[in-house]
């Protein structure tokens, strides 16, 4: 269990306040913060701090980082890391090689409460939210893995598309984003950090005013009837409310909201579905990411044939939308979209 506060749960500003409130100079907080961007787990490693201060911190705080339990490598070079948390729970993150960089897909919860019909993580149920140090720990372990294999390509993109609904863990998400984006933190470009949501409308409205990151919305249907069958959250926040929140989401010039759409054979893949999708997204700066379903024996859906996928894409392109078909990565190690489910795989 979590017996002490983990210092990676603090933002830089909170760390500075932590030290000044104890009568110590704020620069001590900045010194500690720099160490938190490295995979250090022992206060003895914080060598620029006085020994007595290190000992005091060790009495009250933790530097625990999730431990690497297993690494699997797919034929396409994608790597799935299973990480064990302090309480024994296991999460997964996925390191995806691109042409000149890596993208890391991180988890925000143990399991998920959204209950989406096409997603294996939903079968796990919801266990708990992840703390900032458990999300940042995924970044640290991924960077450590790249360093170990002396990769010439940097980790450049972070996508919150792993296990869990990021916006249901809102406060911890915001703290994590602040450390990822801070110039004295991991210093990721805001253009290269994406938060994906199943459609929690109140949190979408808050997010755009608290941090600047890219927004992706898991849409997966263009009418309430089908979307409610696939995604129970739609009964709480139907399409009208969700799309209104998207229309009012503050976007820097030239940015678009990504709408993710899993294509399920005979469910949401018809020409009529494509036309409906174009109609409901009209007026929103949108990029549509079509995702051919990754089949699994525990799930009842099938992937459409390639000609149906391309016809769906062509309908959207003809109506002036940016529409791409996502290439499935890591499918052979169950690291592709909708396949992260540690308890089912164990």
Q: How many CB atoms lie within 10 A of CB 336?
A: 23
* Gap between the Cα atoms of 319 and 296, Å rounded: 33
**DSSP code string of 226-291:** HHHHH-THHHHS-HHHHHHHHHTS---TT--EEEEEEE-TTTS-SHHHHHHHHHHHTTS-EEEEEE
Q: Is 199 helix (H, G, I), strand (E, B) or coil?
A: coil
220 is in an annotated binding site: yes
Closest CA to 180 of 215, 131, 133, 136: 136
Q: What angle do CA 334, 332, 99 make, to 5 degrees?
A: 100
Residue among 93, 246, 303, 337 flagged as catalytic: 337
The strand ranges marked E within the chain are 5-6, 61-62, 67-73, 79-84, 90-97, 102-105, 109-111, 126-129, 155-160, 193-197, 214-218, 257-263, 286-292, 322-325
Active site residue 105: no
151 is in an annotated binding site: no
Active site residue 171: no
Residue whose entry in the numeric block shows the structure tokens 């459609």: 199
294 is in an annotated binding site: yes
119 is in an annotated binding site: yes
Residue among 16, 89, 92, 99 flagged as catalytic: 92
DSSP state for residue 11 in the 8-state scheme: -
164 is in an annotated binding site: yes
Q: What contacts 29, CB < 8 A, 6 or more positions away?
A: 12, 15, 16, 17, 18, 19, 20
Q: What angle do CA 304, 308, 314 make, to 5 degrees?
A: 135
Task: Give strand pairing partners of 197.
Answer: 217
* Gap between the Cα atoms of 153 and 161, Å rounded: 21
Orientation of helix 170-181 relative to helix 132-148, angle to 10°: 40
φ, ψ of residue 333 in degrees (nearest 5): -120, 20
219 is in an annotated binding site: yes
Residues tagged in the binding site annotation for S-adenosyl-L-methionine: 164-165, 196, 218-220, 294
- Enzyme catalytic residues: 92, 337
Residues tagged in the binding site annotation for [4Fe-4S] cluster: 112, 116, 119
Residues tagged in the binding site annotation: 112, 116, 119, 164-165, 196, 218-220, 294
């Amino acid at each position: 269990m979590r017996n002490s506060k983990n210092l990676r749960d603090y933002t830089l500003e909170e760390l500075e306040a932590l030290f000044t409130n104890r009568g110590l100079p704020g620069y001590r907080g900045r010194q500690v913060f720099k160490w938190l961007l490295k995979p250090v787990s022992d206060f003895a490693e914080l060598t620029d701090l006085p020994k007595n201060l290190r000992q005091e911190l060790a009495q009250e705080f933790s530097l625990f980082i999730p431990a690497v339990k297993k690494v699997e490598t797919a034929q396409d070079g994608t790597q799935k890391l299973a990480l064990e948390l302090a309480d024994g729970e296991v999460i997964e993150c996925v390191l995806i090689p691109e042409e000149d960089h890596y993208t890391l897909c991180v988890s925000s919860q143990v399991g998920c409460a959204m209950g989406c019909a096409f997603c294996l993580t939903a079968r796990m149920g919801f266990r708990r939210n992840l703390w900032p140090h458990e999300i940042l720990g995924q970044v640290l372990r991924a960077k450590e893995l790249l360093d170990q294999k002396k990769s010439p390509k940097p980790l450049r993109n972070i996508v919150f598309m792993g296990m869990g609904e990021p916006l249901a863990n809102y406060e911890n998400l915001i703290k994590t984003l602040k450390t990822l984006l801070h110039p004295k933190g991991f210093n990721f470009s805001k253009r290269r950090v994406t938060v994906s949501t199943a459609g929690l409308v109140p949190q979408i409205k808050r997010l755009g005013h608290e941090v600047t990151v890219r927004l992706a919305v898991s849409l997966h249907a263009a009418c309430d009837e089908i979307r409610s069958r696939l995604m129970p959250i739609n009964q709480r926040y139907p399409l009208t409310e969700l799309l209104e929140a998207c229309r009012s989401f503050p976007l820097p010039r030239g940015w678009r909201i990504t709408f993710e759409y899993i294509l399920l054979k005979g469910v949401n893949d018809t020409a009529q579905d494509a036309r409906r999708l174009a109609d409901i997204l009209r007026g929103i700066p949108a990029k549509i990411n079509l995702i051919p379903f990754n089949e699994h024996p525990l799930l009842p859906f099938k992937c459409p044939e390639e000609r149906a996928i391309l016809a769906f894409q062509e309908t959207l392109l003809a109506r002036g939308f940016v529409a791409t078909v996502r290439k499935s990565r890591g499918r052979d190690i169950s690291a592709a979209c909708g396949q992260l489910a540690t308890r089912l795989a164990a």
